[in-house]
Amino acid sequence: MKNMREELDIITAYNELGTYRAAADVCGTTHKTVKRVVERHAAGIVRPVREPRAANYEAVRELVTESMKTSRGRISAKRLLPKARAAGYTGSDRNFRRLVAQEKKTYRAEHGRTHRPAVWSPGEHLAIDWGVIAGVHVFCAVLAWSRFRFVRFAADEKATTTMAMLAECFEVLGGTPKVVLADRMGCLKGGVVANRVVPTPEYVRFATAFRFRPDFCEAADPASKGVVENLVRYGKDDLARPLLLEHAEAVDGDLAAGAARVLADLAAANERAASWCEEVNGALHSEISAVPADRLATEVELLTPLPSLRPSLAPAPVLRKVDKLSTIRLNSARYSVPSALVGSQVAVLVNGPHVLVIDPGTGQIHAQHDMVAPGAASVLDEHYGSARPAAPVRAIRPRTAAEKEFCALGPAAEAFIAGAAGAGHTRLGHELAELNTLTAAHGTEAMITALERAVAFKRWKAADVRSILAAGTGVPTPRAAGEALIVDLPTSSRRSLSEYAPTLTAQAVSS
């Protein structure tokens, strides 16, 4: 059956050409269809409407509708299809997915949540949230009315870190808003009673000092604070990720190592973040069609003035016990302390990229280290009284009577044992008795001299030592080559080449 547009084309073609067959060739149909359409139009008969054909999934529509109600519009067509097959549905999977999409759209239109745009008042709300990328934590805050943005980097999301970031944000804004809206952060949340979040006492004291009201959004509902969710995504994509990639390029593209470099120098990273905030706050905001920095100049008059006495937000030190290695462990990393403190309690304080080990009673700083990655160790030689040896020293400790008698010869005997062991002389233990016999036969001094010669020439068997003793002291002792001997060569008077020319004698001339 032709639709309205096709029938109008047929009538137009017939009026222009005058014959059924010519109009049929132009419109791509038969002359009988052209005749039927033209006659019906000439008679003024209303175009017939075909009854819609029932879809093959109508028999299971009620099943899908009930499933949408019980699942609150979340069940998928893949899960419902086996039930529909069991109920007699024989159509294709594609048609069934079309039915589920229709019913899901209908259910959400009737029961879905409706959203309305937020209406912000000047000086009223500050929204905050945390983001993390490759282990680097990003604190984001946005003043809702002016859209003034504040972004900084941190190593963790602890309560002291969050409140320190808030205090710095208030300093940048030049005042405190009436309400600080946060996600249900574990560091600021003391508990939940009847869906009402109870803030921690430390956060309440902080809010009282700065004179704002702490507020928390609904659980698992990012739409209630979308103004800061957008900033978190923007800050991670436009600020944090390029910074991490720059540091990763310096360490062969290792993103984790690049993140460690950022965390090791948070001061420089936050300077970069402050410059970025200054740039974006000075540009035109697409949502409000205004510059956030200019709006802040108006909004700051409605902010609560900062308190004259600011609360101390330094992180609380943690106690650690110094182990037998004269180290303490913090975040799966080791830091050395003076060996005199083994077994005692010390306080550990993280100050930016530095780790301070202090006395918990007097506050005296025992050690200061640069923060290292988990699994690494920061060891200072002065804490152990000497520098670390280049290689581990394996002391010679005689145990048997033969070993004690041989080692009594002194350093020469110990050097002989160490060299023989390094050369893999497996019969050394059995030959010690023979070497002791040679000592008794030739005397201690001769034996020490022979051992020194054996070590110099790397001869490790008892037979070699016996040969050295038999040769006596008359054998030459080679020395290492010294410096080059520089001797001036003798000089002679110079003679011209003419003096070497041959001369003819008188006899040769006469002949």
Give, for all 511 residues of the chain, the pLDDT tens digit.
788 888 899 999 999 998 999 999 999 999 999 999 999 888 888 877 777 788 889 999 999 999 999 998 999 999 999 999 999 999 999 999 999 999 999 999 888 777 777 888 999 999 999 999 988 999 999 999 999 999 999 988 988 889 999 999 999 999 999 999 998 888 999 999 988 899 999 999 999 999 999 999 888 777 777 778 888 999 999 999 999 999 888 888 788 888 888 888 888 999 999 999 999 999 999 989 999 999 999 999 999 999 988 776 666 688 999 999 999 999 889 999 999 999 999 999 887 678 899 998 888 899 999 888 888 999 998 998 888 776 666 788 899 999 999 999 999 999 999 899 889 888 888 899 899 999 998 889 889 989 999 998 899 999 999 988 888 766 777 677 777 777 777 777 777 777 777 776 656 555 5
Q: Which two tokens stand for residue 120?
A: 């912000």
Torsion of CA 214, 220, 223, 225, to 10 degrees: 20
Nearest CA to 136 among 11, 290, 265? 265
Q: Which two tokens stand for residue 198?
A: 């109870």
Helix (H, G, I), strand (E, B) or coil at 241: helix
Contact call for residues 206 and 166 (beta carbons, < 8 A): yes
Q: For strands 213-216 and 179-182, give the pairing.
A: parallel
Cβ-based burial of 127 (10 A; exposed 0-12, middle 13-18, buried ≥19): buried
Contact call for residues 321 and 333 (beta carbons, < 8 A): no
Contact call for residues 157 and 310 (beta carbons, < 8 A): no
Give residue 424's region: left, alpha or beta (phi > 0; psi -120 to 50). Answer: left
Q: For strands 136-143 and 125-133, give the pairing.
A: antiparallel
434 DSSP assignment = H
